[in-house]
Amino acid sequence: MALLDSHVLMGIVRLIFLSALFVGTIVSSESQCRNFESIISFGDSIADTGNLLGLSDRNNLPMSAFPPYGETFFHHPTGRFSDGHLIIDFIAEFLGLPYVPPYFGSKNENFEKGVNFAVASATALESSFLEERGYHCPHNISLGVQLKIFKESLPNLCGLPSDCRDMIRNALILMGEIGANDYNFPFFESRPFDEVKELVPFVISNISSAITELIGMGGRTFLVPGGFPIGCSVAYLTLYQTSNMEEYDPLTGCLKWPNKFGEYHSEQLQVELKRLRKLNPHVNIIYADYYNASLSLGQEPAKYRFINGTLSACCGVGKPYNFSFSQSCGSVGVESCNNPSKYVAWDGIHMTEAAHKLMADGLLKGPYATPPFNWSCLSSKIKNKNSLENTILFDE
């Protein structure tokens, strides 16, 4: 058999290489670009669309069950810890999906397009783990418990195992935010920084284990939020206020040391997500940078038409930040501001609908998602709908 001409041989090699590259590009594109059919959510109050309310006794309802919660959009309390939409609501709108219904307390709810297990006050760690270390945990509804209930509910949610696997595969799985309460509970008891920092590896491990388990069940796309800049939280500013101005960031007025803690958690989470991506190259694990998305609102408040950055709650009472642990929003005699859209902070712990909208935009359209979402496969109907919404928003 005659030897091939070197030019012909090189041409064949080049063709094979380009073909492999082309196929690899298609596979990569398919793994990242999905026309999501539903949203499956886990987490705490940042994503709770009514689960704590559904789990609560009528004589012990959460503050989110009372006005002025929900006043901006829903015009009545829904169990959401905000004046209106949460980030998860804006994500659902963007995808052309209905708002994700809470699993707990729902009656005859249709979960075909989404289901939410996020519960306010939930932790990434088991309550027994925290209690053993002397931290009070008000509810036993950890991430592990949420995942266990999700698995037990699958026959009612989707029927046959093959159908359930398809549902999980075609869903956007929102993993939180979760972990904040694991730190809030001890910090609100004024526990030392280094003591609370020891919890971080355990929190990250539990989040990672939940993602791994869901991957095994068919999960292919995960949105995993990092921590918040808790030094900008009105609750932290109130609890840890000091006359030492060196403790504050001169640009934002936020406390430096809690923000360093938030940075540390987020950095460690990103390291773990990078490890998971290497182990699961067929899975799209997107890091949601809640830290910088939120921090940017306080750094440039005028850009977003906020009157005071993050440093005062819209709904609350007490100086200097309009917040008190003993008189929270939703309590008798506690009033809210006239225009929540001018505020970042809603009740001192949670954000306003206006802040949630800006954060959601930063995740969905950049630059606060890593890797960024690929929306090239969104239907033209959804893309046109969102283009129209954006035009109306900017025209205002």
Tell me what pLDDT residue 393 has: 35
Q: Tell whether 355 is covered by a domain.
A: no
Q: Which amino acid does the sequence have at 29?
A: S
Distance CA 316, CA 360 (A): 25
* pLDDT one-digit tens code per residue, 213-227: 999 999 999 999 999
Mean pLDDT of 72-88: 97
Give residue 390's pLDDT band: very low, low, confident or very high (50, 70, 90): very low
Residue 19 lies in a domain: no
Domain-embedded: residue 314: no
- Whether 325 is in a domain gets the answer no
Catalytic residue status for 89:
no
DSSP 336: B
Residues 6 or more apart in contact with residue 135 via CB below 8 angstroms: 185, 186, 189, 191
> Per DSSP, what are the bridge partners of residue 222?
173, 285
Our answer to whether residue 350 is catalytic in this structure is: yes
In 159-216, alpha helices (H): 161-169, 180-187, 193-197, 200-216
Phi first, then psi: what are they for 286, rounded to 5°? -105, 125
Predicted local confidence at residue 109, as pLDDT: 74
With respect to residue 265, please indicate whether it lies within any of the assigned structural domains. yes
pTM of the shown model:
0.88
Range of the domain at 191: 36-303+366-395
127 part of the active site: no
In DSSP notation, 114-171 reads EEE---TT--SS-HHHHHHTT---S----HHHHHHHHHHHHHHHH-SHHHHHHHHHTE
Q: Are 219 and 174 in contact (CB under 8 A)?
A: no
Q: Which of 45, 294, 324, 328 is catalytic?
A: 45
- 336, pLDDT greater than 70: yes
For 68-72, 192-196, 214-218, 374-378, which range has the lowest pLDDT when averaged over its residues? 374-378
Q: Is 313 helix (H, G, I), strand (E, B) or coil?
A: strand
Domain tally, the chain: 1
- Tell me if 327 is assigned to some domain: no
Instruction: With H, G, I as helix, E, B as strand and everything else as coil, classify residue 203.
Output: helix
Q: What is the DSSP string of 225-269?
A: E----GGG-HHHHHHT--S-GGGB-TTT--BHHHHHHHHHHHHHH
Residue 175: give its domain's CATH number: 3.40.50
| Least confident range of 14-23, 60-69, 346-355 | 14-23
On whether residue 123 sits in a domain, the answer given is yes
Span 236-278, pLDDT tens digits: 999 999 999 999 999 999 999 999 999 999 999 999 999 999 9
pLDDT for residue 119: 98
Residue range 291-296: average pLDDT?
96
Q: Is 319 a member of any domain?
A: no
